[in-house]
Amino acid sequence: MARIVMKFGGTSVANVERIRQAARHVKREVEAGHEVAVVVSAMSGKTNELVGWCAQAAPMHDAREYDAVVASGEQVTAGLMAIVLSEMGIQSRSYAGWQVPIHTDDAHGSARITGIDPANLNERMSSGWVPVVTGFQGVSDKKRITTLGRGGSDTSAVAVAAAVKADRCDIYTDVDGVYTTDPRIAPKARRLERVSFEEMLEMASLGAKVLQTRSVELAMAQGVRLVVRSTFDDPDAGNAPGSEWGMTGTLVCDEDEIMEKQIVSGVTLARAEAKITLRKVNDKPGVAAAVFGPLADARIVVDMIVQNISDDGQITDITFTVPDSEFDKAMKVLRNAPDLEYESISGSKGGAKISVVGVGMRSHAGVAASMFRALSDKGINIQLITTSEIKTSVLIDEEYAELAVRALHTYYGLDKAEG
Amino acid sequence: MARIVMKFGGTSVANVERIRQAARHVKREVEAGHEVAVVVSAMSGKTNELVGWCAQAAPMHDAREYDAVVASGEQVTAGLMAIVLSEMGIQSRSYAGWQVPIHTDDAHGSARITGIDPANLNERMSSGWVPVVTGFQGVSDKKRITTLGRGGSDTSAVAVAAAVKADRCDIYTDVDGVYTTDPRIAPKARRLERVSFEEMLEMASLGAKVLQTRSVELAMAQGVRLVVRSTFDDPDAGNAPGSEWGMTGTLVCDEDEIMEKQIVSGVTLARAEAKITLRKVNDKPGVAAAVFGPLADARIVVDMIVQNISDDGQITDITFTVPDSEFDKAMKVLRNAPDLEYESISGSKGGAKISVVGVGMRSHAGVAASMFRALSDKGINIQLITTSEIKTSVLIDEEYAELAVRALHTYYGLDKAEG
């Protein structure tokens, strides 16, 4: 017997029929003898509708009222889920954030969970009930409803799982796991059986579609094992042979749980990256701040940053990337930046960032070198390189993006078996 | 300076633009120096949508979950209203039922308010804030969300008004007051400046369109003066001369507040009433129970009941009315009723009940007689008569319904002045 938190996202509870489909997954786990708590998002589209109304009511509005309005979406889903579960013969009741209670700070609209009192949930679960908790929200010390910000439902689920000491937290979504790369680009992409928290974080561009970065960070910190799986798989298909959690899906877990570490677990792609180069910048303390401070002030998100060691310790070149859509704005900001001296500024849109990610890189030298060779074999020119402990990224011409992804996917042995 | 509770129904808050229109009424009162609390319904259509989802989730569902789902509608409106008011420069915050708190029993789906703690609302109001309270809902001792049943928002408003000792409770709706009769039938119908609680209750068929009976009962018991008025009147039109509350509308108040009592204040019409007569029923104790018990068990609502004193104290005739739609069912129930002996049963659909209502009847004899004469003058045959202290009702052929309403309206001097 395990204790499981099951989280269903917006598309999984988009209407009553979908909620019924989701509930059948819950039923399967309950009938297998597990203790289950459910966390739900709002029906897909509902949160946008509510947010839209707030914006229509006033362009600048009190975040506390925004939270009161927007949090209603999950309240609806939680009640409906409890009704559907009861109809299936499973004892169930809904809990709004304030009823659990899920305590948060009072940073309305993007609150942080400060603690969850597990007593109510534990009591229900240990007596065979299935509590259904509203994701995305909590209650402040001032007894006002708070929301965690977009994607907060995953975070709620992980926090609930940590509070009730669940064996795992199953995140049900519209895809059946985390893939080695985007299957639309590389048809040979395959689902990963397991992936480490660190890899999941580095694969943000792949992973963000299925799991909020914030929830992965919390899961890593709290040691909550996550399973990404699909609501649309047949709930009654029974346990798949050889899989501990009974269905297809990807386990996101501590590196220690992954026996055979792949050197590279995934290949990610980010399109529409523009690069900007400042030449012959005075290399003195504070120069980075002089470049990136004004960009941050203008709310421009900078991605890759490369600065070479200068030959003489006085003059250097700095290159970095921003989204194509921010390119013109960034150029203007830098041209007008005070306290910034350089000889020339240049740049261009239309780059693509390709990354290979894998915890195995830690113990395997030469991953970067082999990546460059694989790209060179296809005649792809590398414009920028950045590396972290478990990730190597290059900027290339966007025209070559798909070719590069497929080449690296094959090169690192990620392609699924034929047939 | 007065203290006012302003309640806005579903059509008055149907979308953000309507909420803004409603908020302008609030602004007018605040700027006039009044202390204001607002009570809101769900956007029109929203409650039906939520109720529909519950029904779709399971035909028989836990009323506690139904309440959690359905109560979300008012939460949305309250938050949006607070945002709109703040945008207009009026300090405002929303309160869900549990935040006030509005305590109720735990009869989920049709809960009764057991008490409202006015401290939060009083504190806000006396410091110039406008609290916006969700109508229709409260919280049980078990800290679960309850709803008061359909139309409960009016009741919430009256209860809040009583709790904060408001000078009056303004019910904003889509009509501008209570009329002497239905203007669609009698174009000369006019708006009543004042009407007593008792009259309002007896005019249910007119009044129910603008005020829930339950809220009028509570207002009468708690001595809360109600004003029925229209959200769609120009909020900035200023105070109408001679009207204490500044706009058109109808004050529903204690009889003592009405100086010149009309003999008849209104003429009401209920269509599609079927009559059923049981002839030569054994007139013994319990016979009424034997007739009406089985009908109640079958959930058939009986309206008028007439039983004549029997000549010999042993045999009597009983006639009563039910909705046309229930006629066949009622006939069947009575034919199969045990313990009920009668010689014959007969009946027909297609009746109309016409009532004249007025507290002045108490002190004016002969209202009933004059009513019969007025109808007789138009050649209208009276099939049944019932009377209460301030109301006389007759059943006539439905064909004559409009004619009868107009005739009585004119006869009792209710027609508005020409031009």
Q: Is B24 on the interface with A (CB under 8 A)?
A: no
The enclosing domain of A297 has a CATH number of: 3.30.2130.10
Contact check, Cβ <8 Å, B79/A98: no
Render pLDDT for A6-52 as a digit per residue (tens, 0 to 9): 999 999 999 999 999 999 999 999 999 999 999 999 999 999 999 99
Model confidence at B344: pLDDT above 60: yes
Q: Check residue A26 and give its pLDDT.
A: 97
Contact check, Cβ <8 Å, B57/A68: no
Q: Is A68 on the interface with B (CB under 8 A)?
A: yes
Distance from CA of A59 to the nearest CA of B (A): 9
Does residue A261 fall inside a structural domain? no
Beta bridge partners, A239, equal none
Does residue B418 fall inside a structural domain? no
Question: How far is it, in rounded angstroms, from Cα B330 to Cα B328?
Answer: 5
Per the prediction, chain B carries an average pLDDT of 91
Render pLDDT for B161-191 as a digit per residue (tens, 0 to 9): 999 999 999 999 988 899 999 888 999 999 9
Element (DSSP H or E) covering residue B138: strand B137-139
Does residue A416 fall inside a structural domain? no
Q: Check residue A369 and give its pLDDT.
A: 87
**Are B207 and B284 in the same domain?**
no
Q: Is A307 on the interface with B (CB under 8 A)?
A: no
Residue numbers in B near A57 (CB within 8 A):
16, 19-20, 80, 83-84, 87
Q: From residue A56, give the alpha-carbon distance in Å to each of A74, A110, B254, B307.
A: 21, 20, 42, 60
Does residue A417 fall inside a structural domain? no
Between A309 and A119, whose confidence is greater? A119
* Residue A89, φ and ψ in degrees, nearest 5: 90, 10
| B84: nearest CB among A58, A80, A144 | A58
Average pLDDT over residues A168-180: 92
Model confidence band, residue A206 (pLDDT cutoffs 50, 70, 90): low
**Are A215 and A286 in the same domain?**
no
**Are B34 and B88 in the same domain?**
yes
DSSP state of B191: B
Element (DSSP H or E) covering residue A307: strand A305-307
**Are A290 and A249 in the same domain?**
no
Q: Which of B224, B256, B288 is the last residue of a domain?
A: B256
**Are B292 and B212 in the same domain?**
no
Question: How far is it, in rounded angstroms, from Cα A17 to Cα A40?
Answer: 15
Average pLDDT over residues A366-381: 90
Q: Under 8 Å CB-to-CB from B319, ≥6 apart: which residues?
A: B275, B276, B277, B278, B305, B306, B307, B384
Question: How far is it, in rounded angstroms, from Cα A57 to Cα A419?
Answer: 55
Structure tokens at B220: 């009468």
**Can you give the pTM of this predicted structure?**
0.85
**Total structural domains within chain A:** 2
Model confidence at B208: pLDDT above 70: no
Q: Is A133 on the interface with B (CB under 8 A)?
A: no
Q: Check residue B284 and give its pLDDT.
A: 78
Beta bridge partners, A357, equal A266, A391
Q: Which of A234, A256, A278 is the last residue of a domain?
A: A256
Question: How far is it, in rounded angstroms, from Cα A186 to Cα A195?
Answer: 19
Highest-confidence segment of A282-296, B294-308, B319-333: B319-333
Q: Is A54 on the interface with B (CB under 8 A)?
A: yes
Q: How many Cβ pairs closer than 8 A exist between chain A and B?
A: 115
Q: Is B53 on the interface with A (CB under 8 A)?
A: yes
Model confidence band, residue A247 (pLDDT cutoffs 50, 70, 90): low
Contact check, Cβ <8 Å, A79/B69: yes
The whole domain housing A158 covers: 3-256
Does residue B261 fall inside a structural domain? no
Q: Is B51 on the interface with A (CB under 8 A)?
A: no
Q: Is A189 on the interface with B (CB under 8 A)?
A: no
Render pLDDT for B8-45 as a digit per residue (tens, 0 to 9): 999 999 999 999 999 999 999 999 999 999 999 999 99
Render pLDDT for A291-302 as a digit per residue (tens, 0 to 9): 999 999 998 989
Average pLDDT over residues A214-226: 94
Model confidence band, residue A282 (pLDDT cutoffs 50, 70, 90): confident
Q: SS3 of A231, please?
A: coil
Q: Check residue A207 and give its pLDDT.
A: 56
The enclosing domain of A246 has a CATH number of: 3.40.1160.10
Is the Cα torsion angle A14, A19, A24, A30 positive or negative in sign? positive
**Are A248 and A294 in the same domain?**
no
**Are A194 and A338 in the same domain?**
no
Q: Is A96 on the interface with B (CB under 8 A)?
A: yes
Does residue B371 fall inside a structural domain? yes
ipTM of the complex: 0.82
Q: Is A58 on the interface with B (CB under 8 A)?
A: yes
Average pLDDT over residues B147-169: 93
Q: Note whether A380 and A396 are within 8 A (CB).
A: yes
Average pLDDT over residues A70-83: 97
Q: SS3 of A333, please?
A: helix
CA nearest to A223, candidates A193, A260, A197? A197
Model confidence band, residue A338 (pLDDT cutoffs 50, 70, 90): confident
Render pLDDT for B81-105 as a digit per residue (tens, 0 to 9): 999 999 999 999 999 999 999 999 9
**Are A91 and A231 in the same domain?**
yes
Model confidence band, residue B416 (pLDDT cutoffs 50, 70, 90): confident
Distance from CA of A64 to the nearest CA of B (A): 8
Q: Which of A222, A256, A290 is the last residue of a domain?
A: A256
Distance from CA of A225 to the nearest CA of B (A): 30
Q: Note whether A9 and A67 are within 8 A (CB).
A: no
Contact check, Cβ <8 Å, A93/B62: yes
Model confidence at B267: pLDDT above 90: yes
Does residue A354 fall inside a structural domain? yes
Contact check, Cβ <8 Å, B54/A80: yes
Residue numbers in A near B65 (CB within 8 A):
79-80, 82-83, 86, 93-94
**Are B222 and B281 in the same domain?**
no
Q: Which residue of A has its CA nearest to B19?
A: A57
**Are A65 and A178 in the same domain?**
yes
Does residue B358 fall inside a structural domain? yes
Alpha helix segments (H runs only) across B325-414? 327-335, 367-377, 401-411
**Are A195 and A298 in the same domain?**
no
Between A7 and B235, whose confidence is greater? A7
Model confidence at A104: pLDDT above 90: yes
**Are B48 and B179 in the same domain?**
yes
Q: Check residue A205 and give its pLDDT.
A: 62
Residue in B62, B98, B132 to test binding to A, most A beta-carbons within 10 Å: B62
